[in-house]
Amino acid sequence: MFKMNGFLGVLLFLLFAAITGLSVRQFIINNEVIMLIVGIVTGLVSFLLLTGFTIIQPNQSKVFTLFGSYLGVIKQEGFWLSIPLTVRNTVSLRVINFNSDKLKVNDLEGNPIEIAAVIVYKVFDAAKAVFDVEDYKEFVHTQSETGLRHITSQYPYDNFNNDYEISLRQHSEEVGDELTKDLQKRFNLAGVEIIEARIMHLAYSSEIAHAMLQRQQAKAVLAARKVIVEGAVSMVKSAIDQLSAEEIVELDEEKKAQMVNNLMVALVSDKGSQPVINTGTIY
């Protein structure tokens, strides 16, 4: 794409404008037709130069077309003189981020969930962004929603039974990486680069939220019970072994079973145990 320093262009414009003024003056004074022709030509050149000036801001590009033909793109910031009579479409190369709307979709197991993501992107090909799609920002928003729905349907919300390697709730980083890859394939058409895509909102839909919360609570209770029982068994075994090793008391199998039962009840029970003291038989 042709361009030259805009300040040199200003000097050229002033030069041709001065020649135009002098030529018109000579025509008026001396009635010389040749000077009129020179003045018209230089005046036309001055006008064309005036239409060729453009300013490129930092992190901005301009796409040039001339009578419907694509000429090129200028990305370098500054004041430039380019091809006159061109149409210029300004495209920002800055990083843009937006938060998607909360979408109600079904996960891999068919559970209705609410999900939203934050998308960070920028334009890397201004010509594609202008010519290959109608509105690249609207295209990004629409395709982000489509990609988010697609990725959500590939994974379960939670991995309750360890049936899946990845779940939406427990592996947000991995899901975000997959979302980024999926969106990049969609956005290449518009000359857009995805920098980051991350889930910012994830929840069960209102109609099943209470039931799923109870399920999560039950799972947490079971996990806690498992830890308590394993600890209690270890403590009971240690107590019996120590009593036997130090010969503090002799326990037959029946008494061992009774002791195990009492200790397990005391250790595992939610409520504090009430000790019962055996004082022997009263006659």
200 and 101 assigned to the same domain: yes
**Predicted local distance difference test score (pLDDT) of residue 110:** 82
104 and 170 assigned to the same domain: yes
64 and 35 assigned to the same domain: yes
Q: Is residue 46 part of a domain?
A: yes
Q: Is residue 60 part of a domain?
A: yes
45 and 67 assigned to the same domain: yes
Q: Is residue 10 part of a domain?
A: yes
**Predicted local distance difference test score (pLDDT) of residue 166:** 84
Closest to 192 (Cα-Cα) out of 228, 250, 245, 139: 139
Q: Is the dihedral of CA 13, 14, 19, 25 positive or negative?
A: positive
**Predicted local distance difference test score (pLDDT) of residue 12:** 92
Name the maximum alpha-carbon separation found in the chain. 153
100 and 73 assigned to the same domain: no
| pTM (predicted TM-score) | 0.68
57 and 101 assigned to the same domain: no
Of 64, 90, 116, the residue at which a domain comes to its end is 90
**Predicted local distance difference test score (pLDDT) of residue 145:** 92
103 and 135 assigned to the same domain: yes
Q: Is residue 130 part of a domain?
A: yes
86 and 106 assigned to the same domain: no
Q: Is residue 113 part of a domain?
A: yes
Q: Is residue 175 part of a domain?
A: yes
108 and 128 assigned to the same domain: yes
* Residues of the chain scoring pLDDT < 50: 277, 279-283
193 and 101 assigned to the same domain: yes
Of 56, 90, 124, the residue at which a domain comes to its end is 90
**Predicted local distance difference test score (pLDDT) of residue 28:** 79
- Work out how many domains the chain is built from and give that number: 3
Residue 206 CB partners (closer than 8 Å, separation 6+):
none
**Predicted local distance difference test score (pLDDT) of residue 235:** 74
196 and 246 assigned to the same domain: no
Alpha helices in the chain (DSSP H): 6-30, 33-50, 126-131, 136-152, 172-187, 206-245, 253-268
Residues spanned by the domain of 244: 209-268
Q: Is residue 279 part of a domain?
A: no
63 and 101 assigned to the same domain: no
Q: Is residue 275 part of a domain?
A: no
* Per-residue CA distances from 219 to 206, 216, 230 (Å): 20, 5, 17
CATH code (residue 189): 3.30.479.30
**Predicted local distance difference test score (pLDDT) of residue 211:** 61
**Predicted local distance difference test score (pLDDT) of residue 203:** 85
**Predicted local distance difference test score (pLDDT) of residue 248:** 65
Of 68, 90, 112, the residue at which a domain comes to its end is 90
Q: Give burial (CB, 10 Å; 0-12/13-18/19+) of 72.
A: middle
